[in-house]
A and B are shown apart, each in its own frame.
Chain A
Amino acid sequence: MKIAVCVKQVPAKDAPLHIAPDGTWIRETDISFEMNEPDSYALEEALRLKEKHGGEVVAISLGPERAKQTLKEALAKGADRAIHIADEEFYRLDPLAAAQALARALEPERCDLVLTGLQSDDHGFGQTGVLLAELLGLPHATIIMSIEVQDGSLRLKRELEAGWFQWIELPLPALLTIQSGINKVRYATLKGIMAAKKKEIRTIPRTELLPSLAPTQKLERIYVPEKTKKTEFLQGPPKEVAAKLLEKLKHEARVLGSS
Protein backbone atom coordinates (compact mmCIF):
# COMPACT_ATOMS: atom_id res chain seq x y z
CA MET A 1 0.00 0.00 0.00
CA LYS A 2 1.44 3.32 -1.03
CA ILE A 3 0.37 6.10 1.30
CA ALA A 4 1.00 9.83 0.99
CA VAL A 5 0.58 11.98 4.07
CA CYS A 6 0.33 15.76 3.92
CA VAL A 7 2.02 17.50 6.83
CA LYS A 8 2.16 21.23 7.50
CA GLN A 9 4.54 23.09 9.72
CA VAL A 10 2.79 25.61 11.96
CA PRO A 11 3.83 27.91 14.83
CA ALA A 12 4.24 26.01 18.11
CA LYS A 13 1.16 26.13 20.33
CA ASP A 14 2.80 28.28 22.98
CA ALA A 15 4.64 30.55 20.51
CA PRO A 16 3.92 34.24 21.16
CA LEU A 17 2.31 35.60 18.01
CA HIS A 18 3.00 39.08 16.67
CA ILE A 19 1.47 40.34 13.48
CA ALA A 20 3.95 41.15 10.71
CA PRO A 21 4.16 44.73 9.37
CA ASP A 22 2.26 43.88 6.18
CA GLY A 23 -0.65 42.69 8.34
CA THR A 24 -1.32 39.42 6.55
CA TRP A 25 0.96 37.05 8.43
CA ILE A 26 2.84 36.77 11.70
CA ARG A 27 6.44 37.69 12.49
CA GLU A 28 8.33 34.45 12.09
CA THR A 29 11.53 35.51 13.83
CA ASP A 30 12.05 34.20 17.36
CA ILE A 31 9.23 31.68 17.33
CA SER A 32 9.45 27.93 17.09
CA PHE A 33 7.48 25.74 14.72
CA GLU A 34 6.08 22.23 14.94
CA MET A 35 4.17 19.69 12.91
CA ASN A 36 0.48 20.61 12.74
CA GLU A 37 -1.14 18.42 15.39
CA PRO A 38 -3.89 16.74 13.32
CA ASP A 39 -1.23 16.00 10.66
CA SER A 40 0.92 14.22 13.22
CA TYR A 41 -2.03 11.87 13.86
CA ALA A 42 -2.38 11.38 10.08
CA LEU A 43 1.32 10.51 9.84
CA GLU A 44 1.04 8.06 12.72
CA GLU A 45 -1.95 6.40 11.05
CA ALA A 46 0.02 6.11 7.77
CA LEU A 47 2.95 4.50 9.58
CA ARG A 48 0.66 2.02 11.36
CA LEU A 49 -1.06 1.07 8.09
CA LYS A 50 2.34 0.48 6.48
CA GLU A 51 3.47 -1.66 9.42
CA LYS A 52 0.32 -3.76 9.09
CA HIS A 53 -0.05 -4.01 5.33
CA GLY A 54 3.41 -3.19 3.96
CA GLY A 55 4.19 -0.54 1.37
CA GLU A 56 5.59 2.94 1.44
CA VAL A 57 4.86 6.22 3.23
CA VAL A 58 5.62 9.46 1.41
CA ALA A 59 5.44 12.66 3.47
CA ILE A 60 4.68 15.86 1.57
CA SER A 61 4.74 19.44 2.78
CA LEU A 62 4.12 22.80 1.17
CA GLY A 63 5.96 25.62 2.87
CA PRO A 64 9.11 27.68 3.18
CA GLU A 65 12.61 26.29 3.76
CA ARG A 66 11.84 25.70 7.46
CA ALA A 67 9.14 23.15 6.51
CA LYS A 68 11.95 20.68 5.77
CA GLN A 69 12.38 20.29 9.51
CA THR A 70 8.88 18.85 9.75
CA LEU A 71 9.61 16.50 6.84
CA LYS A 72 12.79 15.37 8.64
CA GLU A 73 10.66 14.63 11.68
CA ALA A 74 8.30 12.55 9.52
CA LEU A 75 11.27 10.63 8.08
CA ALA A 76 12.71 10.08 11.56
CA LYS A 77 9.39 8.61 12.69
CA GLY A 78 9.40 6.18 9.78
CA ALA A 79 8.25 7.80 6.53
CA ASP A 80 10.30 6.44 3.59
CA ARG A 81 10.81 9.63 1.64
CA ALA A 82 9.59 13.19 1.46
CA ILE A 83 8.54 15.85 -1.03
CA HIS A 84 8.95 19.51 -0.19
CA ILE A 85 6.95 21.98 -2.29
CA ALA A 86 9.00 25.09 -1.69
CA ASP A 87 7.26 28.44 -1.42
CA GLU A 88 8.60 31.17 0.86
CA GLU A 89 5.29 33.04 0.57
CA PHE A 90 3.08 29.99 1.04
CA TYR A 91 0.82 31.99 3.35
CA ARG A 92 -0.37 34.06 0.41
CA LEU A 93 -1.82 30.99 -1.33
CA ASP A 94 -5.53 30.46 -1.06
CA PRO A 95 -6.66 26.93 -0.09
CA LEU A 96 -7.47 26.00 -3.70
CA ALA A 97 -3.99 26.97 -4.95
CA ALA A 98 -2.30 25.06 -2.13
CA ALA A 99 -4.39 21.99 -2.96
CA GLN A 100 -3.61 22.37 -6.68
CA ALA A 101 0.13 22.42 -5.99
CA LEU A 102 -0.18 19.35 -3.74
CA ALA A 103 -2.33 17.57 -6.33
CA ARG A 104 0.20 18.13 -9.09
CA ALA A 105 3.03 16.80 -6.95
CA LEU A 106 0.98 13.77 -5.90
CA GLU A 107 -0.54 12.84 -9.28
CA PRO A 108 2.57 11.01 -10.59
CA GLU A 109 2.88 9.14 -7.25
CA ARG A 110 -0.37 7.21 -7.88
CA CYS A 111 -0.94 6.51 -4.20
CA ASP A 112 -3.47 4.02 -2.84
CA LEU A 113 -4.26 6.31 0.04
CA VAL A 114 -3.73 10.00 0.80
CA LEU A 115 -4.04 11.18 4.41
CA THR A 116 -4.23 14.71 5.77
CA GLY A 117 -5.07 16.22 9.15
CA LEU A 118 -8.57 17.66 9.32
CA GLN A 119 -7.34 21.24 9.60
CA SER A 120 -4.28 23.32 10.30
CA ASP A 121 -3.63 25.22 13.51
CA ASP A 122 -2.50 28.35 11.59
CA HIS A 123 -4.89 29.21 8.74
CA GLY A 124 -7.47 26.72 9.94
CA PHE A 125 -9.19 26.57 6.54
CA GLY A 126 -10.02 22.90 7.07
CA GLN A 127 -10.30 22.40 3.31
CA THR A 128 -7.02 21.11 1.92
CA GLY A 129 -7.80 17.41 2.16
CA VAL A 130 -11.26 17.58 0.58
CA LEU A 131 -10.10 19.96 -2.17
CA LEU A 132 -7.24 17.61 -2.89
CA ALA A 133 -9.61 14.63 -3.15
CA GLU A 134 -11.72 16.42 -5.77
CA LEU A 135 -8.63 17.54 -7.72
CA LEU A 136 -7.19 14.01 -7.68
CA GLY A 137 -10.60 12.51 -8.54
CA LEU A 138 -10.57 10.40 -5.37
CA PRO A 139 -13.47 9.49 -3.09
CA HIS A 140 -12.93 10.89 0.39
CA ALA A 141 -14.14 10.83 3.96
CA THR A 142 -13.46 13.35 6.71
CA ILE A 143 -12.89 13.45 10.46
CA ILE A 144 -11.89 9.79 10.61
CA MET A 145 -11.42 8.01 13.95
CA SER A 146 -10.62 4.47 12.77
CA ILE A 147 -9.39 2.80 9.55
CA GLU A 148 -9.72 -0.84 8.58
CA VAL A 149 -8.35 -1.99 5.23
CA GLN A 150 -10.35 -4.78 3.58
CA ASP A 151 -9.36 -6.00 0.14
CA GLY A 152 -9.67 -3.02 -2.16
CA SER A 153 -11.76 -0.95 0.20
CA LEU A 154 -11.76 0.85 3.52
CA ARG A 155 -14.09 0.55 6.50
CA LEU A 156 -14.00 3.83 8.38
CA LYS A 157 -15.37 5.30 11.55
CA ARG A 158 -16.39 8.86 10.91
CA GLU A 159 -16.98 11.33 13.72
CA LEU A 160 -20.16 13.40 13.60
CA GLU A 161 -21.29 16.11 15.96
CA ALA A 162 -22.29 15.76 19.61
CA GLY A 163 -20.90 12.29 20.24
CA TRP A 164 -22.37 10.60 17.14
CA PHE A 165 -20.36 8.36 14.80
CA GLN A 166 -20.96 6.54 11.53
CA TRP A 167 -19.33 3.57 9.83
CA ILE A 168 -18.79 4.14 6.13
CA GLU A 169 -17.07 2.25 3.33
CA LEU A 170 -14.94 3.67 0.55
CA PRO A 171 -13.20 2.00 -2.40
CA LEU A 172 -9.44 2.48 -2.79
CA PRO A 173 -7.68 4.65 -3.88
CA ALA A 174 -9.10 7.28 -1.53
CA LEU A 175 -8.32 10.31 0.59
CA LEU A 176 -9.06 10.65 4.31
CA THR A 177 -8.81 13.56 6.71
CA ILE A 178 -7.82 12.41 10.17
CA GLN A 179 -9.19 13.58 13.50
CA SER A 180 -6.91 14.21 16.46
CA GLY A 181 -6.98 11.40 19.00
CA ILE A 182 -7.35 8.54 16.48
CA ASN A 183 -4.13 7.00 17.82
CA LYS A 184 -1.18 7.62 20.13
CA VAL A 185 1.51 9.45 18.24
CA ARG A 186 5.01 7.97 18.51
CA TYR A 187 8.22 9.82 19.22
CA ALA A 188 11.16 9.62 16.85
CA THR A 189 13.86 7.31 18.16
CA LEU A 190 17.56 8.11 17.99
CA LYS A 191 17.88 5.26 15.47
CA GLY A 192 15.08 6.78 13.43
CA ILE A 193 16.72 10.19 13.48
CA MET A 194 20.00 8.67 12.25
CA ALA A 195 18.23 6.66 9.53
CA ALA A 196 16.37 9.79 8.36
CA LYS A 197 19.65 11.42 7.37
CA LYS A 198 19.95 8.95 4.51
CA LYS A 199 16.36 9.39 3.29
CA GLU A 200 15.43 11.54 0.34
CA ILE A 201 13.73 14.93 0.54
CA ARG A 202 12.93 16.04 -2.99
CA THR A 203 12.33 19.75 -3.36
CA ILE A 204 10.00 21.07 -6.06
CA PRO A 205 9.48 24.83 -6.31
CA ARG A 206 5.77 25.66 -6.09
CA THR A 207 6.17 27.86 -9.17
CA GLU A 208 7.15 24.76 -11.15
CA LEU A 209 3.94 22.95 -10.21
CA LEU A 210 1.69 25.99 -10.32
CA PRO A 211 3.36 28.79 -12.31
CA SER A 212 0.52 31.30 -12.20
CA LEU A 213 -2.02 32.01 -9.51
CA ALA A 214 -5.68 32.96 -9.97
CA PRO A 215 -6.71 33.71 -6.38
CA THR A 216 -10.31 32.94 -5.43
CA GLN A 217 -10.07 34.59 -2.03
CA LYS A 218 -7.91 37.24 -0.44
CA LEU A 219 -6.71 37.53 3.11
CA GLU A 220 -6.97 41.30 3.64
CA ARG A 221 -5.48 41.53 7.11
CA ILE A 222 -5.12 39.67 10.36
CA TYR A 223 -5.47 41.33 13.74
CA VAL A 224 -5.96 40.67 17.41
CA PRO A 225 -9.71 40.24 17.86
CA GLU A 226 -11.59 42.98 19.64
CA LYS A 227 -13.02 41.91 22.94
CA THR A 228 -16.75 41.47 22.94
CA LYS A 229 -17.08 40.96 26.66
CA LYS A 230 -15.71 43.08 29.46
CA THR A 231 -13.43 40.83 31.43
CA GLU A 232 -12.58 41.75 34.99
CA PHE A 233 -9.03 40.65 35.69
CA LEU A 234 -8.22 39.69 39.27
CA GLN A 235 -4.68 40.16 40.47
CA GLY A 236 -2.64 39.51 43.58
CA PRO A 237 -1.17 36.61 45.54
CA PRO A 238 -3.00 33.29 44.99
CA LYS A 239 -4.83 33.29 48.33
CA GLU A 240 -6.10 36.81 47.82
CA VAL A 241 -7.15 36.17 44.22
CA ALA A 242 -9.00 33.01 45.26
CA ALA A 243 -10.89 34.89 47.98
CA LYS A 244 -11.68 37.76 45.61
CA LEU A 245 -13.01 35.39 42.94
CA LEU A 246 -15.27 33.51 45.35
CA GLU A 247 -16.57 36.82 46.70
CA LYS A 248 -17.39 38.01 43.17
CA LEU A 249 -19.07 34.73 42.23
CA LYS A 250 -21.25 34.88 45.33
CA HIS A 251 -22.22 38.54 45.49
CA GLU A 252 -21.66 40.02 42.04
CA ALA A 253 -22.38 37.21 39.57
CA ARG A 254 -24.61 35.44 42.13
CA VAL A 255 -23.80 32.02 40.75
CA LEU A 256 -22.66 30.50 44.05
CA GLY A 257 -24.53 30.09 47.30
CA SER A 258 -23.36 32.68 49.84
CA SER A 259 -23.18 30.28 52.78
Chain B
Amino acid sequence: MRILLIAEQRQGKWNKVSFETLAAAQQLATETGGRLVAALPGQGIRALAEELAGYRLDEVLVVEHERLEPYTADGFTLALRQLIEREAPELVLLPHTYQVRDFAPKLAAALGRALLADCIGYRYENGRVVFVRQMFQGRTAADVTFAGPPPWLATIQAGAFRADQLERGSSPAPVRAVSVELSPEQIRVRPGELFREAKQAVDLTQAPVIVAVGRGIKEKENIALAEKLAKLLGGELAASRPICDEGWLPMERQIGSSGQTVAPKLYIALGISGAIQHVVGMKGSRTIVAINKDPNAPIFEIADYGIVADLFEIVPALNEALEQSASS
Protein backbone atom coordinates (compact mmCIF):
# COMPACT_ATOMS: atom_id res chain seq x y z
CA MET B 1 0.00 0.00 0.00
CA ARG B 2 1.40 3.42 -0.93
CA ILE B 3 1.40 5.44 2.29
CA LEU B 4 1.82 9.17 2.73
CA LEU B 5 2.49 10.41 6.25
CA ILE B 6 1.83 14.08 6.95
CA ALA B 7 4.10 15.16 9.81
CA GLU B 8 3.35 18.18 11.99
CA GLN B 9 5.57 20.98 13.17
CA ARG B 10 4.60 24.34 14.56
CA GLN B 11 7.04 27.24 14.43
CA GLY B 12 9.89 24.81 13.81
CA LYS B 13 9.00 22.47 16.69
CA TRP B 14 7.79 18.91 16.21
CA ASN B 15 4.46 17.71 17.41
CA LYS B 16 5.55 14.41 18.97
CA VAL B 17 2.49 12.52 17.77
CA SER B 18 4.05 12.85 14.29
CA PHE B 19 6.63 10.22 15.29
CA GLU B 20 4.04 7.88 16.80
CA THR B 21 2.12 8.16 13.54
CA LEU B 22 5.31 7.50 11.61
CA ALA B 23 5.77 4.32 13.70
CA ALA B 24 2.26 3.23 12.65
CA ALA B 25 3.08 4.10 9.03
CA GLN B 26 6.31 2.05 9.12
CA GLN B 27 4.46 -0.98 10.50
CA LEU B 28 1.70 -0.64 7.91
CA ALA B 29 4.20 -0.21 5.07
CA THR B 30 6.04 -3.37 6.17
CA GLU B 31 2.87 -5.43 6.52
CA THR B 32 1.23 -4.28 3.31
CA GLY B 33 4.48 -4.12 1.35
CA GLY B 34 4.23 -0.57 0.15
CA ARG B 35 6.17 2.60 -0.34
CA LEU B 36 6.28 5.05 2.56
CA VAL B 37 6.65 8.75 1.91
CA ALA B 38 6.55 11.49 4.56
CA ALA B 39 5.52 15.05 3.81
CA LEU B 40 6.18 18.09 5.98
CA PRO B 41 4.24 21.30 5.26
CA GLY B 42 5.41 24.70 6.47
CA GLN B 43 8.09 27.28 5.71
CA GLY B 44 11.79 27.21 6.62
CA ILE B 45 11.58 23.57 7.66
CA ARG B 46 14.33 21.98 5.56
CA ALA B 47 16.32 20.96 8.67
CA LEU B 48 13.31 19.21 10.17
CA ALA B 49 12.74 17.37 6.89
CA GLU B 50 16.38 16.18 6.95
CA GLU B 51 15.79 14.89 10.46
CA LEU B 52 12.73 12.96 9.27
CA ALA B 53 14.81 11.47 6.44
CA GLY B 54 16.92 9.60 9.00
CA TYR B 55 14.04 7.22 9.68
CA ARG B 56 13.26 4.19 7.54
CA LEU B 57 11.12 5.57 4.72
CA ASP B 58 11.39 5.91 0.98
CA GLU B 59 11.27 9.67 0.55
CA VAL B 60 10.63 12.92 2.39
CA LEU B 61 8.70 15.71 0.67
CA VAL B 62 9.22 19.28 1.87
CA VAL B 63 6.10 21.29 1.13
CA GLU B 64 7.26 24.87 1.63
CA HIS B 65 5.34 28.05 0.91
CA GLU B 66 5.34 31.44 2.63
CA ARG B 67 1.58 31.11 3.12
CA LEU B 68 1.96 27.86 5.08
CA GLU B 69 3.49 29.71 8.04
CA PRO B 70 1.63 30.42 10.23
CA TYR B 71 -0.78 27.53 9.91
CA THR B 72 -4.25 28.13 8.48
CA ALA B 73 -6.87 25.51 7.63
CA ASP B 74 -7.36 27.12 4.22
CA GLY B 75 -3.65 27.10 3.35
CA PHE B 76 -2.99 23.56 4.56
CA THR B 77 -6.06 22.13 2.83
CA LEU B 78 -5.18 23.73 -0.51
CA ALA B 79 -1.53 22.70 -0.32
CA LEU B 80 -2.15 19.13 0.80
CA ARG B 81 -4.90 18.60 -1.73
CA GLN B 82 -2.45 19.48 -4.51
CA LEU B 83 0.16 17.21 -2.97
CA ILE B 84 -2.20 14.24 -2.60
CA GLU B 85 -3.59 14.60 -6.10
CA ARG B 86 -0.07 14.70 -7.54
CA GLU B 87 1.53 11.95 -5.44
CA ALA B 88 -1.56 9.68 -5.52
CA PRO B 89 -1.03 7.76 -2.28
CA GLU B 90 -3.56 5.12 -1.25
CA LEU B 91 -3.43 5.83 2.46
CA VAL B 92 -2.75 9.22 4.04
CA LEU B 93 -1.88 9.05 7.75
CA LEU B 94 -1.94 12.09 10.01
CA PRO B 95 -1.40 12.56 13.74
CA HIS B 96 -4.66 13.26 15.60
CA THR B 97 -3.64 16.71 16.84
CA TYR B 98 -5.70 19.87 17.32
CA GLN B 99 -4.21 21.23 14.10
CA VAL B 100 -5.11 18.12 12.10
CA ARG B 101 -8.62 18.12 13.57
CA ASP B 102 -8.90 21.67 12.26
CA PHE B 103 -8.09 20.90 8.60
CA ALA B 104 -8.26 17.13 7.90
CA PRO B 105 -12.08 16.89 7.58
CA LYS B 106 -11.97 19.86 5.16
CA LEU B 107 -9.26 18.13 3.15
CA ALA B 108 -11.31 14.91 3.09
CA ALA B 109 -14.44 16.76 1.97
CA ALA B 110 -12.47 18.62 -0.72
CA LEU B 111 -11.19 15.28 -2.01
CA GLY B 112 -14.63 13.66 -1.56
CA ARG B 113 -12.98 10.90 0.47
CA ALA B 114 -13.25 9.35 3.90
CA LEU B 115 -11.41 10.39 7.02
CA LEU B 116 -11.18 7.78 9.79
CA ALA B 117 -10.48 9.97 12.76
CA ASP B 118 -8.80 9.14 16.03
CA CYS B 119 -7.66 5.58 15.30
CA ILE B 120 -5.99 3.69 18.15
CA GLY B 121 -4.84 0.65 16.19
CA TYR B 122 -5.28 -1.41 13.06
CA ARG B 123 -5.36 -5.00 11.82
CA TYR B 124 -4.25 -6.09 8.37
CA GLU B 125 -6.48 -8.96 7.35
CA ASN B 126 -7.43 -10.46 3.99
CA GLY B 127 -5.60 -7.77 2.10
CA ARG B 128 -7.35 -4.84 3.75
CA VAL B 129 -6.66 -2.62 6.70
CA VAL B 130 -9.24 -2.56 9.49
CA PHE B 131 -8.80 0.45 11.73
CA VAL B 132 -9.85 0.44 15.38
CA ARG B 133 -11.25 3.55 16.98
CA GLN B 134 -13.30 4.36 20.04
CA MET B 135 -16.93 5.30 20.33
CA PHE B 136 -19.19 6.40 23.15
CA GLN B 137 -16.30 8.15 24.94
CA GLY B 138 -14.24 4.97 25.05
CA ARG B 139 -17.01 2.75 26.34
CA THR B 140 -16.97 0.77 23.08
CA ALA B 141 -14.39 0.13 20.39
CA ALA B 142 -15.27 0.03 16.71
CA ASP B 143 -13.75 -1.67 13.66
CA VAL B 144 -13.92 0.65 10.68
CA THR B 145 -12.90 0.13 7.06
CA PHE B 146 -12.69 2.35 4.02
CA ALA B 147 -15.29 2.10 1.28
CA GLY B 148 -14.91 3.60 -2.17
CA PRO B 149 -11.72 4.46 -4.03
CA PRO B 150 -8.47 5.83 -2.51
CA PRO B 151 -6.97 8.06 -1.28
CA TRP B 152 -8.10 7.18 2.21
CA LEU B 153 -7.33 9.44 5.15
CA ALA B 154 -6.85 8.33 8.76
CA THR B 155 -5.62 10.06 11.90
CA ILE B 156 -3.76 8.31 14.72
CA GLN B 157 -4.49 9.06 18.38
CA ALA B 158 -1.67 10.23 20.69
CA GLY B 159 -0.15 7.34 22.59
CA ALA B 160 -1.60 4.64 20.32
CA PHE B 161 1.78 3.78 18.78
CA ARG B 162 5.21 4.07 20.33
CA ALA B 163 7.78 6.43 18.90
CA ASP B 164 10.55 4.38 20.54
CA GLN B 165 9.71 1.57 18.12
CA LEU B 166 10.62 3.74 15.14
CA GLU B 167 13.18 2.22 12.82
CA ARG B 168 16.04 4.30 11.50
CA GLY B 169 17.07 3.94 7.89
CA SER B 170 20.42 2.44 6.85
CA SER B 171 21.07 5.64 4.92
CA PRO B 172 19.12 8.92 4.83
CA ALA B 173 16.05 8.93 2.59
CA PRO B 174 16.06 11.39 -0.33
CA VAL B 175 14.48 14.78 0.44
CA ARG B 176 12.52 16.40 -2.38
CA ALA B 177 11.04 19.90 -2.44
CA VAL B 178 7.47 20.02 -3.68
CA SER B 179 5.92 23.29 -4.79
CA VAL B 180 2.31 24.25 -4.24
CA GLU B 181 0.26 27.19 -5.48
CA LEU B 182 -1.44 29.40 -2.92
CA SER B 183 -2.79 32.88 -3.51
CA PRO B 184 -3.49 35.37 -0.70
CA GLU B 185 -7.24 35.64 -1.33
CA GLN B 186 -7.64 31.88 -0.84
CA ILE B 187 -6.68 32.23 2.81
CA ARG B 188 -9.66 33.61 4.66
CA VAL B 189 -8.45 33.01 8.21
CA ARG B 190 -6.18 35.61 9.81
CA PRO B 191 -4.17 33.85 12.52
CA GLY B 192 -2.73 35.76 15.46
CA GLU B 193 -0.09 35.05 18.05
CA LEU B 194 -0.06 31.95 20.23
CA PHE B 195 -0.33 32.61 23.94
CA ARG B 196 -0.80 30.96 27.30
CA GLU B 197 -3.55 32.09 29.63
CA ALA B 198 -1.42 32.42 32.73
CA LYS B 199 1.98 31.14 33.60
CA GLN B 200 1.32 27.77 35.08
CA ALA B 201 1.58 28.01 38.82
CA VAL B 202 1.35 24.27 39.31
CA ASP B 203 3.50 21.95 37.29
CA LEU B 204 1.59 18.71 37.57
CA THR B 205 4.23 16.91 35.53
CA GLN B 206 6.60 17.04 38.51
CA ALA B 207 4.15 15.63 41.07
CA PRO B 208 4.96 12.09 42.27
CA VAL B 209 1.34 11.48 43.21
CA ILE B 210 -1.78 12.88 41.55
CA VAL B 211 -5.34 12.59 42.85
CA ALA B 212 -7.70 13.51 40.02
CA VAL B 213 -11.43 14.10 40.21
CA GLY B 214 -14.07 13.73 37.52
CA ARG B 215 -17.80 14.18 37.20
CA GLY B 216 -18.37 11.58 39.93
CA ILE B 217 -17.33 14.17 42.54
CA LYS B 218 -20.79 15.71 41.92
CA GLU B 219 -20.37 19.05 43.76
CA LYS B 220 -17.67 21.63 44.14
CA GLU B 221 -17.79 21.23 47.93
CA ASN B 222 -16.83 17.56 47.63
CA ILE B 223 -13.48 18.40 46.09
CA ALA B 224 -12.12 19.04 49.61
CA LEU B 225 -12.28 15.30 50.17
CA ALA B 226 -9.95 14.64 47.23
CA GLU B 227 -7.74 17.55 48.18
CA LYS B 228 -7.25 16.03 51.61
CA LEU B 229 -6.28 12.69 50.08
CA ALA B 230 -3.80 14.41 47.77
CA LYS B 231 -2.26 16.24 50.74
CA LEU B 232 -1.98 13.10 52.85
CA LEU B 233 -0.22 11.33 49.98
CA GLY B 234 2.11 14.28 49.36
CA GLY B 235 0.63 14.80 45.90
CA GLU B 236 -1.24 17.30 43.76
CA LEU B 237 -4.91 17.65 43.01
CA ALA B 238 -6.00 17.50 39.35
CA ALA B 239 -9.18 17.05 37.36
CA SER B 240 -10.76 15.95 34.12
CA ARG B 241 -12.07 18.59 31.73
CA PRO B 242 -15.71 18.84 32.92
CA ILE B 243 -14.59 19.86 36.42
CA CYS B 244 -12.51 22.73 35.03
CA ASP B 245 -15.33 23.66 32.62
CA GLU B 246 -17.57 24.06 35.65
CA GLY B 247 -14.96 26.34 37.19
CA TRP B 248 -14.61 24.07 40.23
CA LEU B 249 -10.85 23.88 39.69
CA PRO B 250 -8.63 26.15 37.57
CA MET B 251 -7.86 25.05 34.01
CA GLU B 252 -4.17 24.65 34.94
CA ARG B 253 -5.12 21.57 36.96
CA GLN B 254 -6.65 19.85 33.97
CA ILE B 255 -5.23 16.52 32.77
CA GLY B 256 -5.84 15.40 29.20
CA SER B 257 -5.50 16.41 25.57
CA SER B 258 -6.40 20.03 26.26
CA GLY B 259 -4.55 20.12 29.58
CA GLN B 260 -1.34 18.64 30.93
CA THR B 261 0.15 15.23 30.19
CA VAL B 262 1.48 13.54 33.31
CA ALA B 263 3.16 10.27 34.29
CA PRO B 264 3.41 10.22 38.10
CA LYS B 265 4.33 7.23 40.24
CA LEU B 266 0.74 7.04 41.45
CA TYR B 267 -2.42 8.35 39.81
CA ILE B 268 -5.70 8.01 41.66
CA ALA B 269 -8.77 8.65 39.49
CA LEU B 270 -11.87 9.48 41.51
CA GLY B 271 -15.19 9.38 39.67
CA ILE B 272 -13.47 9.68 36.29
CA SER B 273 -15.08 7.64 33.54
CA GLY B 274 -11.95 7.52 31.39
CA ALA B 275 -12.88 9.24 28.13
CA ILE B 276 -9.96 9.15 25.71
CA GLN B 277 -9.39 12.91 25.98
CA HIS B 278 -8.53 12.37 29.64
CA VAL B 279 -6.74 9.05 29.29
CA VAL B 280 -4.18 10.35 26.77
CA GLY B 281 -2.97 12.72 29.47
CA MET B 282 -2.31 10.13 32.19
CA LYS B 283 -2.01 6.62 30.83
CA GLY B 284 1.75 6.70 31.19
CA SER B 285 1.40 6.80 35.00
CA ARG B 286 3.28 3.99 36.74
CA THR B 287 0.42 2.84 38.96
CA ILE B 288 -3.19 3.78 38.30
CA VAL B 289 -5.96 3.41 40.86
CA ALA B 290 -9.55 3.93 39.71
CA ILE B 291 -12.49 4.38 42.04
CA ASN B 292 -15.82 4.52 40.21
CA LYS B 293 -19.36 3.33 40.79
CA ASP B 294 -19.76 2.16 37.19
CA PRO B 295 -18.07 -1.22 36.68
CA ASN B 296 -18.08 -0.60 32.91
CA ALA B 297 -16.26 2.74 33.11
CA PRO B 298 -13.37 2.65 30.57
CA ILE B 299 -10.95 3.93 33.23
CA PHE B 300 -10.83 0.37 34.61
CA GLU B 301 -9.25 -0.79 31.36
CA ILE B 302 -6.04 1.00 32.22
CA ALA B 303 -6.21 0.75 36.03
CA ASP B 304 -3.83 -1.45 38.02
CA TYR B 305 -6.16 -1.39 41.00
CA GLY B 306 -9.89 -0.92 40.64
CA ILE B 307 -12.52 -0.27 43.26
CA VAL B 308 -16.10 -0.43 42.05
CA ALA B 309 -17.77 1.58 44.81
CA ASP B 310 -19.03 4.95 45.93
CA LEU B 311 -16.04 7.26 46.19
CA PHE B 312 -17.79 9.06 49.06
CA GLU B 313 -17.41 5.90 51.12
CA ILE B 314 -13.92 4.89 50.01
CA VAL B 315 -12.09 8.23 50.08
CA PRO B 316 -13.00 9.11 53.69
CA ALA B 317 -11.86 5.63 54.70
CA LEU B 318 -8.56 6.16 52.87
CA ASN B 319 -8.10 9.56 54.49
CA GLU B 320 -8.80 8.13 57.91
CA ALA B 321 -6.35 5.26 57.44
CA LEU B 322 -3.63 7.63 56.21
CA GLU B 323 -4.19 10.00 59.14
CA GLN B 324 -3.94 7.12 61.59
CA SER B 325 -0.73 5.80 60.09
CA ALA B 326 0.74 9.30 60.10
CA SER B 327 0.00 9.79 63.80
CA SER B 328 1.08 6.32 64.88
CB distance from A33 to the nearest CB of B (A): 13
B33 surroundings in chain A (CB, below 8 A):
none
B241 contacts A181, CB within 8 Å?
yes
A134 surroundings in chain B (CB, below 8 A):
77, 105-106, 109-110
* A11 (CB) vs chain B CBs: closest residue: B136
Partner of B115, one of A127, A162, A170: A127
B32 surroundings in chain A (CB, below 8 A):
none
- Asked if B176 CB lies within 8 Å of chain A CBs, one says no
B314 contacts A242, CB within 8 Å?
yes
Partner of B102, one of A141, A223, A255: A141
B99 surroundings in chain A (CB, below 8 A):
160
Contact with B along A167-179 (1 / 0, CB 8 A): 1111100000001
Partner of B252, one of A142, A163, A168, A255: A163
Q: Complex Cα distance A168/B194, Å?
A: 10
- Asked if B88 CB lies within 8 Å of chain A CBs, one says no
A229 contacts B101, CB within 8 Å?
no
Number of interface residues of B (CB under 8 A): 95
Number of interface residues of A (CB under 8 A): 81
Partner of B192, one of A135, A167, A179: A167
A139 contacts B294, CB within 8 Å?
no
Q: Which of A52-60, A76-84, A190-198, A245-253 contacts B (4 or more CB under 8 A)?
A: A245-253
Partner of B134, one of A163, A168, A225, A255: A225
- Asked if A180 CB lies within 8 Å of chain B CBs, one says yes
B98 contacts A143, CB within 8 Å?
yes
Q: Which of B35-43, B50-58, B140-148, B166-174 contacts A (4 or more CB under 8 A)?
A: B140-148
- Asked if B200 CB lies within 8 Å of chain A CBs, one says yes
Question: Interface SS of chain A: helix, strand, loop or mixed?
Answer: mixed
A220 contacts B101, CB within 8 Å?
no
- A 98-126 contacts with B by CB, 8 A: 99, 118, 121-126
B188 contacts A164, CB within 8 Å?
no
A239 surroundings in chain B (CB, below 8 A):
317, 320-321
Partner of A131, one of B105, B136, B242, B252: B105
Partner of B113, one of A125, A167, A216, A234: A216
Q: Complex Cα distance A13/B137, Å?
A: 9
- Asked if A228 CB lies within 8 Å of chain B CBs, one says yes
Q: Complex Cα distance A217/B142, Å?
A: 12
Q: Which of B19-27, B61-69, B302-310 contacts A (4 or more CB under 8 A)?
A: B302-310
Q: Contact residues of B with A, CB < 8 Å?
A: 15, 73-74, 77, 97-99, 101-106, 108-110, 112-118, 130, 133-148, 188-197, 200, 209, 215, 233, 241-242, 244-246, 251-252, 257-261, 265-266, 273, 286-287, 289-290, 294, 296, 298, 300-309, 313-314, 316-318, 320-322, 325
7 A-B pairs with CB atoms under 8 Å apart are: A161-B98, A161-B257, A165-B194, A168-B190, A223-B142, A224-B140, A255-B209
Closest 9 CB pairs between A and B?
Answer: A181-B245, A216-B114, A130-B105, A242-B317, A139-B188, A167-B192, A134-B109, A127-B105, A217-B114
Q: Contact residues of A with B, CB < 8 Å?
A: 11, 13-14, 16-17, 19, 26, 94-96, 99, 118, 121-131, 133-135, 139-143, 159-171, 179-181, 214-229, 231-235, 238-239, 241-243, 245-246, 248-249, 253, 255-256, 259
